[in-house]
Chains A and B, each alone.
Chain A
Amino acid sequence: DAVMTQSPLSLPVTLGQPASISCRSSQSLVHSDGNTYLNWFQQRPGQSPRRLIYKVSNRDSGVPDRFSGSGSGTDFTLKISRVEAEDVGVYHCMQGTHWPPTFGQGTKVEIK
C-alpha cells in the first residue's frame, strides 16, 4: 500500500495568517495515465469529510480560493492563504493512484 504521511499532525494557527500542510507518499503518485490522483479533504468537528482539492490542485465547486493545492511525485502541500475561524478541523490527504486508495493520518488545525 502507498503510505501517506502528513505533517504536522497538529497545527495551531492565527486568524488571518497562512497555514501549510504537507503530505508525502511512499511511492510516486503519477499514474500510468499521466494524472496524479491526490485529494485533500476537510473534516470540520462533528462533520463528515468534504473534498476540497482533487488531482493535486483542482478546487471543488464552492471551495474558497484561499485553499490551494500543489506538489508532484511524492510531495504535496495544502495551503490556506488566510485562515478563518470556519477552517478549524482535520485535514486529510488521500491518494487514488495505487491500489488500494489510502489516506494520511490527518492534520488538526486549530486557532491559537
Chain B
Amino acid sequence: QVQLQESGPGLVKSSQTLSLTCTVSGGSISSDNYSWNWIRQPAGKGLEWIGRIYTNGNTHYNPSLKSRVTISLDTSKNQFSLKLSSVIAADTAVYYCAREFARWGQGTLVTVSS
C-alpha cells in the first residue's frame, strides 16, 4: 500500500522560500499517471489545494498561489517537492502531500516567523 511522508523545515522566516519534500513508499511514483498533490490547512481552518504534478511532469497550480509555487518530481528518489517563495504569516499551515486525493501523508506544520 502506497504511503506518503512530508519532510522539511518546520520554521521559515518571512520573505524566504518554504521547501517541502514528499517521499513515496510502497509504490513507484512513476507508475500510472497519477496526480501528486500539495494541500494545506491553516490552524482551525479549511483545506486549500496548492497544486499538483503528474507522472509525466505536467504541473497545475492554484491561481491564488501560482506566482509563488513550484512543484517538481524526482523519480530517482521517489519524491516530489513543493517550493513556495516570498512566504508571509498567512502561509503558516499544516502542509499535506497526497496521491490524487485518495492517499494522504500525515502532514507537516510549517510556521512562518517574522
Q: Which of A's residues lie within 8 Å of B, judged by CB?
A: 39, 41, 47-51, 54, 60, 92, 94, 96, 99-106
- Are B47 and A51 in contact (CB-based, < 8 A)? no
Chain B positions 50-96 with a Cβ under 8 Å from a chain A Cβ: 60, 62-64, 96
A48/B48 contact (C-beta < 8 A), A39-B101, A60-B102, A94-B101 known: no
Question: Contacts of B102 on A, CB cut-off 8 Å?
Answer: 51, 54, 60
- A102 CA to B63 CA in the complex, in Å? 12
Question: Contacts of A99 on B, CB cut-off 8 Å?
Answer: 60
A100 CB contact (under 8 Å) in B46, B63, B96, B105 = B63
B106 touches A (CB below 8 Å):
yes
Of the four ranges (under 10, 10 to 19, 20 to 34, 35 or more), the interface on chain B belongs to 10 to 19
- Are B46 and A104 in contact (CB-based, < 8 A)? yes
A48/B107 contact (C-beta < 8 A), A39-B101, A100-B62 known: yes
- A41 CA to B48 CA in the complex, in Å? 13
- Are A48 and B46 in contact (CB-based, < 8 A)? no
- Are A48 and B96 in contact (CB-based, < 8 A)? yes
Best-surrounded residue of A47, A49, A50, A96 (most CB of chain B within 10 A): A49
- Are B104 and A105 in contact (CB-based, < 8 A)? no
- Are B101 and A105 in contact (CB-based, < 8 A)? no
- Are B46 and A105 in contact (CB-based, < 8 A)? yes
- Are A92 and B47 in contact (CB-based, < 8 A)? yes
Top 3 nearest A-B pairs (CB, nearest first) are A103-B47, A48-B104, A101-B49
Smallest CB separation, B73 vs chain A (Å): 19
- Are B96 and A94 in contact (CB-based, < 8 A)? no
- A105 CA to B106 CA in the complex, in Å? 20
Best-surrounded residue of B48, B101, B102, B104 (most CB of chain A within 10 A): B101
What are 22 A-B contacts with C-beta separation under 8 Å? A39-B101, A41-B101, A47-B106, A48-B104, A48-B106, A49-B96, A49-B104, A51-B102, A54-B101, A54-B102, A94-B47, A94-B101, A99-B60, A100-B49, A100-B63, A101-B49, A102-B49, A103-B49, A104-B46, A105-B45, A105-B46, A106-B46
- A100 CA to B105 CA in the complex, in Å? 21
